[in-house]
């Protein structure tokens, strides 16, 4: 069964450093997403990406964040100058059409 | 604005009993609803969905009910099993944008053997 793959599973970074989280969405999917989940809290929408551009973003997704689909298969989330409060699980998701989104297993980001 | 919320943050049920998890939403423009299950350390996993032109949909051991009048959604799990222990999120899509799925805060279901 096709699945969304995220790497790394756990990333530890120093405050102020840049991190890039990687995702490989399901191959025939057209919509791509990043979500964030702070420990014990709900899953929060960050950004959606369609047709090679951001289609929607939340107020969380400020200039510190960027997304890219560099080669037609990968979908990355870059966080510049990480802050302690960026520590969370980051989930990538993809969907083919107006149906359910499929989620990856997440990357646990720890900012120290 | 958009918001999805849950009535109960935690639920404990005996193995074999039925579970009911509730969710309230406030955006009348929402036309597609999804229930996700999240096990510890994993990503949300699709369980069942329902569109706003329906009021009930059944899957294997799960049923979703939608009451648009009071903007209420519920997930019923029949014969709850230990493997059902997880956090359950309802989520919604609004009609004008399939680009964003909004999650509710989650209900933790614990199954007592």
Total domains in chain A come to 1
Domain that holds residue A99: 5-111
For chain B, the structural domain boundaries read 4-94
Check A33 against B101: CB less than 8 A apart: yes
Following CA atoms A4, B30, B19, A89 in sequence, which dihedral angle do they give, to the nearest 10 degrees? 40
Q: Is B101 on the interface with A (CB under 8 A)?
A: yes
Chain A residue numbers touching B49 (CB-CB < 8 A): 99-100
* Between A14 and B41, residue with greater pLDDT: A14
Q: Given CATH 3.40.350.10, say whether it is the number of domain B4-94.
A: no
Q: Is the dihedral of CA A21, A24, A28, A29 positive or negative?
A: negative
Give dist(CA B25, CA B28) in Å, integer.
Answer: 8
Residues of B within 8 A of A93 (CB-CB) are 43, 101
- CATH of residue A61's domain is 2.60.40.10
Residue for token digits 């014990």? A40
Instruction: Count CB atoms within 10 A of the CB of residue A41.
Output: 13
CB atoms within 10 A of CB A54: 13
CB contact under 8 A, B49 and A99: yes
Assigned token pair, B35:
């229930």
pLDDT tens sequence for chain A (112 residues): 789 999 999 999 999 999 999 999 999 899 999 999 998 888 999 999 998 999 989 999 999 999 999 887 899 999 999 999 999 999 999 998 767 889 999 999 999 9
* Gap from A80 CA to chain B (nearest CA, Å): 23
pLDDT tens-digit readout, B4-19: 554 448 899 999 999 9
């Amino acid at each position: 069964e096709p699945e969304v793959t995220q790497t790394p599973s756990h990333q530890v970074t120093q405050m102020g450093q840049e991190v890039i989280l990687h995702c490989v969405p399901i191959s025939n999917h057209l919509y791509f997403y990043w979500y964030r989940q702070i420990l014990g809290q709900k899953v929060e929408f960050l950004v959606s990406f369609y047709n090679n551009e951001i289609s929607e973003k939340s107020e969380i997704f400020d200039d510190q964040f960027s997304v890219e689909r560099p080669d037609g298969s990968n979908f990355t989330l870059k966080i510049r100058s990480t802050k302690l409060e960026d520590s969370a699980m980051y989930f990538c998701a993809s969907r083919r059409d107006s149906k359910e989104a499929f989620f990856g297993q997440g990357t646990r980001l720890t900012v120290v | 604005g958009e918001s999805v919320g849950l009535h109960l943050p935690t639920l404990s049920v005996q193995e074999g009993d039925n579970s009911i998890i509730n969710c309230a939403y406030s955006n009348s423009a929402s036309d597609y609803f999804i229930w996700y299950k999240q096990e510890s350390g994993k990503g949300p996993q699709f369980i069942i969905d329902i569109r706003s032109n329906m009021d009930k949909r059944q899957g294997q051991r799960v049923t979703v009910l939608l009451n648009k009048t009071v903007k209420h959604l519920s997930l019923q799990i029949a014969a709850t099993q230990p493997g059902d222990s997880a956090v359950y999120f309802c989520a919604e899509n609004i009609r004008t944008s399939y680009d964003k799925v909004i999650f509710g805060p989650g209900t933790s279901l614990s199954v007592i053997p």
